[in-house]
Amino acid sequence: MADQIEWVSLSIFIFFFALVTVMGFFAARWKAGPVNEHLDEWGLGGRQFGTWITWFLVGGDFYTAYTVIAVPALVYAVGAYGFFALPYTIIVYPFVFAVMPVLWKQAHANGHVTAADVVHGNYHSRALELAVAITGMVATMPYIALQLIGMGVVIKAMGLTGELPIIAAFIILALYTYSSGLRAPALIAFVKDIMIYIVVLVAVVVVPAKLGGYSAVFAAANDAFTAKGGATGLILKPAQMLPYATLAFGSALAAFMYPHTLTGIFASKSADTIRKNAILLPAYTLLLGLIALLGYMAYAANIKVATPNDVVPMLFKALFPSWFAGFAFAAIAIGALVPAAVMSIGAANLFTRNVWKSYVNPSISHAGEAAVAKIASLVVKGGALAFILFLPTQYAIDLQLLGGLWILQTFPALVFGLFTRWFRAEGLLLGWASGILWGSWTAWSNGLKPLATIDLGGASYVFYVGLGALILNIAVAAVVTVIVGLISPHRTSVTARS
């Protein structure tokens, strides 16, 4: 990678970065509410975001900068298998449509701010609440770190070396998130998403035109995979089909268990806002599918990279004039800011509501909650930054992968309670623990690959470990619920629910 500083790119980049910084600080006054007086204001933007703001916000924090870097990188490295992100981000929406409005209604009726609030509201179990809250916070931290990695990749592509630019960008982000809360990423998401749409639409038209059309792009990738061999190619090997489908399904179930995606749900104005978004958000999935193809375009453009993560920036540098490359890099870096901000807000809300309020100061005022959450968001971001500065990059990637498996284990506690009171808190807690322990152990012993193998009737099946852990989780929850029901038929805690 060239170490020459690309001044034109860099100027464009800095211009847009400065623009969103001003917007971030200004956002506190947008759709004005008393940001410092209530956690609903700082942490959920006043629970007033309508269809379009929610569309930009959730689109902006679900399809992260790391996605724009990592999905094409995986597609470049292995081909069809890397495409599981596409079915994953399609089948997530029927689920969002069916489940998230129910969750919203419950949260809205009871003033809940986090997933763990909802779980406590349904089961009145402090232990289960804490389990859900800690899982959310732990799964989010490496995810924020990955956004920094995404930003670092494009900053490096412009010839800036060292960690100072990332630290500066992150301090700015931390400050306006501190002062404006969720309104800052919601406002910046408009800029980020429009920029990303422009970049991708230009890329998917201009790049194939320069490279001889999509047939040539796929043919070049096919030649490369044929030469490379192994489990790569334009379609899946038979042994990859089950991993592909289970990764897509498990990821789809996990996607809206994360604090950052749920924050977008809780911040919506109405249940109908969420339903309309389930119809409209797939537009981003189309974009993601096209972004993934950048991995193949790199072969047609004869891009050679040291690490697959450099594929997208190198492709843009090779094929676009430097001003447009700078615009594209700014889009990706701003694309890192929005999810990083929402993630830190989601984690801060969890800490405030389900750790601080539950264990330290139960009589905290609304203004006190907002103050604690603001400090917590700084701590969370500082932690993510330290992660990147002091630990190998691979740790963040591995932990994010484990984070997906962990967050999926909160699914039964959060989702089942919306539809049935049958499960007992004890069962859900033991199920959660079993899923996390078995899943982590299996992934660990496979060299941190997210796949597990079982042998049934002589054949062996390979599947996404998170989904296997979820099945175990549900089975344990059901069995323990039955056993607890036999021991104490009267559910003292749950019948007391408000």
User: Which region among 254-262, 272-280, 348-356, 431-439 touches other proteins (by CB under 8 A)?
Assistant: 272-280
For other proteins, the binding residue among 124, 183, 276, 424 (CB under 8 A) is: 276
Please identify, among the stretches 54-62, 271-279, 466-474, 485-493, the one whose residues bind other proteins according to the rule CB under 8 A: 271-279
Alpha carbons within 13 A on the beta-carbon side of 458: 0
Residue 197 lies near other proteins (rule: CB under 8 A):
no
Closest CB 471 distance from other proteins, rounded Å: 15
Judged by CB under 8 A, the residue of 80, 137, 146, 413 near other proteins is 80
Query: Smallest distance, Å, CB 219 to other proteins?
Result: 9
C-beta of 101: minimal distance to other proteins in Å? 9
Is there binding between residue 241 and other proteins (CB under 8 A)? yes
Residues 306-335 that bind other proteins (CB under 8 A): none
Q: How far is the CB of 255 from other proteins (least distance, A)?
A: 14
254 sits near other proteins (criterion: CB under 8 A): no
User: What is the nearest approach in angstroms of other proteins to the Cβ of residue 230?
Assistant: 17
Among residues 98, 201, 437, 482, which is the contact residue for other proteins, using CB under 8 A? 98
Q: Which is nearer to other proteins, 281 or 477 (CB)?
A: 281
CA 138 → CA 339, 362, 388, distances in Å?
A: 16, 23, 15
How crowded is residue 283: how many other Cβ atoms within 10 Å of its Cβ?
Answer: 13
Asked if 335 and 64 touch (Cβ cutoff 8 Å), the reply is yes
Q: Could you give the CA distance from residue 407 to residue 137 in angstroms, rounded to a whole number?
A: 9
- 368 is a site residue for other proteins (CB under 8 A): no
Nearer to other proteins, 79 or 136 (CB): 79
What Rg do the C-alpha atoms of the chain give, in angstroms? 22
Q: Which is nearer to other proteins, 170 or 244 (CB)?
A: 244
**80/333 with CB nearer other proteins:** 80
Least distance CB 322 / other proteins (angstroms) = 29
Provide the token pair at 150: 């995404």
Place of tokens 């498996």: 405
With contacts defined by CB under 8 A, name the span among 46-54, 281-289, 299-307, 432-440 that binds other proteins: 281-289
φ, ψ of residue 478 in degrees (nearest 5): -70, -45
Q: Which string of x and - marks every residue 11-50 that binds other proteins (by CB under 8 A)? A: ----------------------------------------
Which x/- pattern, by CB under 8 A, does the window 285-304 give for other proteins? xx--x---x-----------
What is the separation, in whole angstroms, between the first and last Cα of the chain? 60
Q: Which of 1, 127, 138, 280 binds other proteins (CB under 8 A)?
A: 280
Determine, following the binding rule CB under 8 A, whether residue 498 of this chain makes contact with other proteins: no
CB-wise, 201 or 241, nearer to other proteins? 241
Closer Cβ to other proteins, 145 or 247, answer by number: 247
Closest CA to 424 of 355, 490, 469: 490
Q: Contacts with other proteins in 221-240 (CB under 8 A)?
A: 234-236
Count of residues interacting with other proteins (CB under 8 A):
40
d(CA 303, CA 312): 10
Among 1, 19, 127, 271, binds other proteins (CB under 8 A): 271
Q: Which of 63, 143, 170, 249 binds other proteins (CB under 8 A)?
A: 249
**Can you give the binding site for other proteins, defined by CB under 8 A?**
80, 83, 86-87, 90-91, 93-94, 97-98, 208, 213-218, 234-236, 241-242, 244-245, 248-249, 270-272, 275-276, 278-280, 282-283, 285-286, 289, 293
